[in-house]
Chains A and B, each alone.
Chain A
Amino acid sequence: MRETWLILGASSAVARAFAREAAEHGAALLLAGRDMEDLGHQATDLAIRHAVPAVPMRFEARDLASHAGFVAECRERAGEGLLNVFLAFGVMPDQAEADADPAVAAGMVEANFTGAVSVLGTLGPVLEAQRGGVVVALGSVAGDRGRKRNFLYGATKAALLTYLQGYAARLSGAGVRVLCIKAGPVDTGMTWALPKLPFMASPRAFAAAAWQKARRGSGSAYLPGIWWPVMSIIRLLPTPIFNRLDI
């Protein structure tokens, strides 16, 4: 029975690379997002490159009322096979912009956290019922400690991690694995225009590693792995020193 991966936020570069990875391994794809033109292109690409079924689906993280219908459709499209979830949606407006405008900040919380909680919550019973499958969600190293430059985005990802910890505990009884990937910077549109960032991963290498983790892991994992020692040190910095750093 062919397994299906539901990719939430499928137009992002990381999600695209992960979808290719999954397709290469023979999985069917549900590509969920807002840019239907792009998702259509992506579905065709996956179907031609890897001869797997791939379907574009409209999904709006902030439209909570739509989630129940959306999840029901996903379940139906996955057919008899296992439904797995890769949650990659999220926005990262400039911190200064969010500081200046509370509406921007709230919109970000809604998209990155509220939307995730709603769709994962709706998916919960479906995953429990199939007694298996895996949920991989993109967290961020930014969630490990609130930094001056990026703490709002970090806060949404920290909240997501905490949610996922409990979500994992709840679903573990049904044999569903839940993995939060604490992503370092990946070379995508989100980071393209930023000043040079350390240990930047290519989407392809990141997705290949994420796929390996998705096959086995649960809990949380740093990707690339170098971020584990780096963030361990950053977390341990005394507050007076940390606050003086321009990071």
Chain B
Amino acid sequence: MPDSLAAQAMTRMTGWKSTALQGWGRSTLSPCLAARPERLRELRAALDTPEGRTLIAHGGGRSYGDAALNTDGAVVVTGRLDRILAFDPATGELVAEPGVTFADLLAVFLPRGFVAPVSPGTAHVTLGGALANDVHGKNHHHAGSFGDHVLWFDLLLPDGRMQRVSEAEDPALFHATIGGIGLTGLIAAICLRLVPVPSNALAVRRRRVGDLDEFLAGFEAASGATWSVGWIDALASGRSLGRGILETAEPSPTGLPHTVPKSRRFPVDAPGWLLNGMSVRAFNALYWRRVPAAGQEVTVPYRQFLYPLDAIEGWNRMYGKQGFRQFQCVVPPGPGVAALRRLLETVAAAGSASFLAVLKVMGPEGRGMLSFGMPGYSLALDIPARPGSEELFGRLERITRDAGGRIYLAKDSLLSAEAFSAMYPRADEFRAVRARVDPDRRLGSDMARRLGL
């Protein structure tokens, strides 16, 4: 912390303030100096950090762990850089500043018949964050990751130069920045291609699934579906291990009347006892039975299918003051099936450790050196921060690693450097690009230090 008067005056002049940030999981509070540029000129100025601190960009704050935290360093909050810079309805090509969110895209472009080609599970993610984490959505098996749809981006390099980076002109930097958790520079603009859709709605089919095998068969049968996702009751064990709901969706040819989204706010930090074995079991039984035994077909607005949790603002407070961590891994097909079963068994055996798990079939390998996407199955679950939860996390990490899978950096806060290198074979390539564009190590984050990047 800068205590001297001189340091205080300096921070005031350059728009830095002393604050503390959290990841979406709220498990750690990270003190830092933060700037929030409102225009490009101020983003450039933010490279000049007080006292030579390292810098990381922080978008919508939806990374669960420490990817966008920089304890005792500097953080540049990009949310105010939210201008749309170009759009061509003939091609769907969009150029936007990094703070534009998926919610912005939905509001501006869905009425014109376009949506983001790939969308994460919350609309509050910024495009900069989506690029830096190479996010994916419920259509990964067809559409791949966010980075697969990016044509170029303007990158403000640590030395202050602005470079337009494309796969053709600087493939190494392009592939290092996609999924590169902000460690190659500050993203100033992104060009991606939106995709046309016939209406503002999706035709969604839901059906109950009795166990894991039925789930995997269901995904197989639904492999032609544009979107697919599975919700698993993480407490179910034994014969009903992997019980859940399989949801698939297609663009609906007919639209719905426009409605203004209503969101409720989670009012307080829930007390720790609220999520216990009994309450979670009751919730999951209700959730499962919500879908009739014969299945269900409904037409819903895009946001309801893509961003179900956005209906409750601040839902992360449900896990109380201690916060939670999210575990998300992908395991390859084949050996991955046994790993999935072991992961679910491990979680179920830990009792009330987790609420719901999300299962997803994954498609192609991402373009980024540190992209998460790869063919196989992805499993995501929230684990409330309680005594023993880190140990449980370690067991899940072990199973993932042994199966040749990897853990998603956007969600992670616990992975070790050694396990990371085993899971991400292109890590050294990434380090080489970093050494080229940031030889003085002006960029940095808690995650970068933890993973030895």
**CA of A11 to CA of B37, assembled, Å:** 12
Contact status B38-A188, CB under 8 Å: yes
Contact status A48-B39, CB under 8 Å: no
**CA of A42 to CA of B39, assembled, Å:** 10
**CA of A42 to CA of B11, assembled, Å:** 27
Within 8 A of A (CB), among B28-48: 35-42
Which A residues are in CB contact (< 8 Å) with B80? 13
> Whole-angstrom distance from the CB of A186 to the nearest CB of chain B?
12
| Chain B 1-34 per-residue mask, 1 if CB under 8 angstroms from chain A, else 0 | 0000000010110011100000000000000000
- Most interface-central of A11, A38, A48, A94 (chain B CB within 10 A): A48
Contact status B85-A11, CB under 8 Å: no
> Whole-angstrom distance from the CB of A99 to the nearest CB of chain B?
14
Which B residues are in CB contact (< 8 Å) with A194? 12, 17
Contact status B84-A45, CB under 8 Å: yes
Contact status A189-B84, CB under 8 Å: no
| B86 at the A interface (CB under 8 A) | yes
Closest to A43 in B: B83
| Chain A 106-134 per-residue mask, 1 if CB under 8 angstroms from chain B, else 0 | 00000000000000000000000000000
Contact status B85-A45, CB under 8 Å: yes
Which A residues are in CB contact (< 8 Å) with B38? 11-13, 16, 188-189
Contact status B97-A41, CB under 8 Å: yes
**CA of A42 to CA of B40, assembled, Å:** 11
**CA of A12 to CA of B42, assembled, Å:** 12
Say which residue of B15, B97, B108 sits within 8 Å of A192 (CB atoms).
Answer: B15
| B287 at the A interface (CB under 8 A) | no
Contact status B12-A44, CB under 8 Å: no
Which A residues are in CB contact (< 8 Å) with B85? 41, 44-45
**CA of A35 to CA of B39, assembled, Å:** 9
| B420 at the A interface (CB under 8 A) | no
Contact status B15-A189, CB under 8 Å: yes
**CA of A37 to CA of B40, assembled, Å:** 8
**CA of A146 to CA of B84, assembled, Å:** 41
Given contacts A11-B38, A11-B39, A192-B17, contact A41 B83 (CB under 8 A): yes
**CA of A37 to CA of B37, assembled, Å:** 14
Which B residues are in CB contact (< 8 Å) with A149? none
Given contacts A192-B15, A193-B16, contact A44 B40 (CB under 8 A): no
**CA of A49 to CA of B15, assembled, Å:** 29
Contact status A193-B11, CB under 8 Å: yes
B-side interface residues, number (CB < 8 Å):
22
> Whole-angstrom distance from the CB of B1 to the nearest CB of chain A?
14
**CA of A80 to CA of B311, assembled, Å:** 44
Given contacts A41-B83, A192-B36, contact A49 B17 (CB under 8 A): no
| Chain B 135-166 per-residue mask, 1 if CB under 8 angstroms from chain A, else 0 | 00000000000000000000000000000000
- Most interface-central of B41, B83, B108 (chain A CB within 10 A): B83
Closest to A13 in B: B38
> Whole-angstrom distance from the CB of B411 to the nearest CB of chain A?
28
**CA of A189 to CA of B9, assembled, Å:** 16
**CA of A16 to CA of B38, assembled, Å:** 10
Contact status B84-A49, CB under 8 Å: yes
- Most interface-central of B16, B17, B38 (chain A CB within 10 A): B38
**CA of A16 to CA of B80, assembled, Å:** 10
Contact status B11-A48, CB under 8 Å: no
Given contacts A192-B15, A193-B16, A193-B17, contact A48 B87 (CB under 8 A): yes
Which A residues are in CB contact (< 8 Å) with B9? 94
**CA of A16 to CA of B99, assembled, Å:** 15
> Whole-angstrom distance from the CB of A19 to the nearest CB of chain B?
11
Closest to B100 in A: A45
Contact status A35-B84, CB under 8 Å: no
Contact status A94-B12, CB under 8 Å: yes
**CA of A188 to CA of B36, assembled, Å:** 9
Given contacts A48-B108, A193-B17, contact A38 B84 (CB under 8 A): no
**CA of A41 to CA of B154, assembled, Å:** 14
Which A residues are in CB contact (< 8 Å) with B97? 41
**CA of A35 to CA of B41, assembled, Å:** 9
Closest to B107 in A: A49
Which B residues are in CB contact (< 8 Å) with A13? 38, 80
Given contacts A189-B15, A193-B15, contact A45 B39 (CB under 8 A): no
Within 8 A of B (CB), among A1-47: 11-13, 16, 35, 37-38, 41-42, 44-45
Say which residue of A12, A42, A94, A189 sits within 8 Å of B83 (CB atoms).
Answer: A42
**CA of A45 to CA of B99, assembled, Å:** 13
Which A residues are in CB contact (< 8 Å) with B40? 37-38, 41
Given A49-B108, A189-B37, A192-B17, list of 20 further CB < 8 A pairs? A11-B39, A12-B38, A13-B80, A16-B38, A35-B41, A37-B40, A37-B41, A41-B40, A45-B84, A48-B86, A48-B108, A49-B84, A188-B38, A189-B36, A192-B15, A192-B35, A193-B11, A193-B12, A194-B12, A194-B17
Which 7 A-B residue pairings sit nearest by Cβ, starting from the closest? A45-B83, A38-B39, A193-B17, A41-B83, A48-B84, A45-B84, A193-B12
Ordered by A's residue number, 7 sampled pairs between the chains whose C-beta atoms are within 8 Å are A11-B38, A12-B38, A37-B40, A38-B39, A41-B85, A44-B83, A49-B84
- B interface residues (Cβ-Cβ under 8 A, vs A): 9, 11-12, 15-17, 35-42, 80, 83-87, 97, 108
